Amino acid sequence: MKLNSTTFQGHFYIILATILIGGSFIAVENLAGLIDPFSLILLRFLVSAIILAPFVLFKKEYRNSIIHTLGRGTILSSFYAGFFVLQLIALETTTALNTGALYTLTPLLTALLSIPFFKDRISPKQYAIFFLAAISTCGVIFKGSLDLLLSFSLNSGDYIFFSSMFLMAFYSIFLKTFQKDEKPIVMVFSILLGGSFWMAIILLIFDIPLNWHLVRGEYAVNIAYLIIMTTLFTLYLYQKATAILNPKIIMSYTYINPAIVAILASLLYGVKLDFIVWVFIVISCLVTVILQLVLHKEKSF
């Protein structure tokens, strides 16, 4: 199947979103344990909604659409916010290495859950490439070290993170299912309002303190990145990409997340990457490209 310009746009949106998400893994790990996860997610969503509000409320077309999207946005936000809350809780008792390894299962999980929703299927060729992609990605995560791979073991935080992967898979699926003719910015605003609502309710019920005064200095930089880059921009890019691409295709880009995290760690923190890690980075990128071609050829839309 030939890829038209619209499809290429969809891939561009999701590649850019994937790069931004790669940076979020570093930011989230830096913030884990600082304040209660529900409070942190409320701060993230609420500030994002405040920033976006003028762009939505000052335009009549967008303002009139909010009432029609708020219900769907609130449902979607329960999956989206839930993932980040569980991720933060998990990182209090596990490592970014473990969560990165587990996250490689998300594309296959999304593909399996998409079957009843979109009457989709997974061919033997797709299974093989999903498996190869997971191996190459784990090569990046474990730095090409067999000893590190063999020492990998699951703990309570890993089980929590594994449950969060279901929420992200369902978020991707329902985002496609709930897609209507509204502008992406309106749905993003509705998701942010919905997420803020859920977090505020939980904080009130369990009497959880905000402690936002602790978010300063380097922590403030990390939360600013999460708010602007991986909440506002990423939600918008996912919304745009979902209007064009199948959730299975979108989530398959997850395989290059560890490669992006490794490259960012090298550029930002001077982390030295061994030659074997660069080899696995190249392989994971190539396998991801091959997976895209196979999914499109087999009409996974």
pLDDT in tens, 193-244: 999 999 999 999 989 999 999 999 989 999 999 999 988 999 899 888 988 8
Work out the average pLDDT over 176-188.
86
pLDDT band at 300 (very low <50, low <70, confident <90, very high): very low
What does the pLDDT read at residue 77?
Answer: 93
pLDDT band at 2 (very low <50, low <70, confident <90, very high): low
What does the pLDDT read at residue 78?
Answer: 93
The Cα–Cα gap between 236 and 247 comes to: 15
Task: Concatenate the DSSP letters of all residues of 249-269 into one string.
Answer: HHHHGGGGHHHHHHHHHHHHH
**Whether pLDDT at 29 is above 70:** yes
Work out the average pLDDT over 93-115.
82
One-letter amino acid at 54 equals P
Treating both helix axes as pointing N-terminal to C-terminal, what angle do 257-269 and 275-297 enclose, rounded to 10 degrees?
140
**Whether pLDDT at 299 is above 60:** no
Work out the average pLDDT over 158-166.
93
Exposed / middle / buried, residue 60 (Cβ in 10 Å: 0-12, 13-18, 19+): exposed
What does the pLDDT read at residue 301?
Answer: 42
Residue 231 phi/psi, 5-degree rounding, is -120, -65
pLDDT band at 179 (very low <50, low <70, confident <90, very high): confident
Q: Is the pTM of this model over 0.85?
A: no
**Whether pLDDT at 132 is above 70:** yes
pLDDT band at 1 (very low <50, low <70, confident <90, very high): very low
Q: In this structure, what token pair is assigned to residue 148?
A: 């590190």
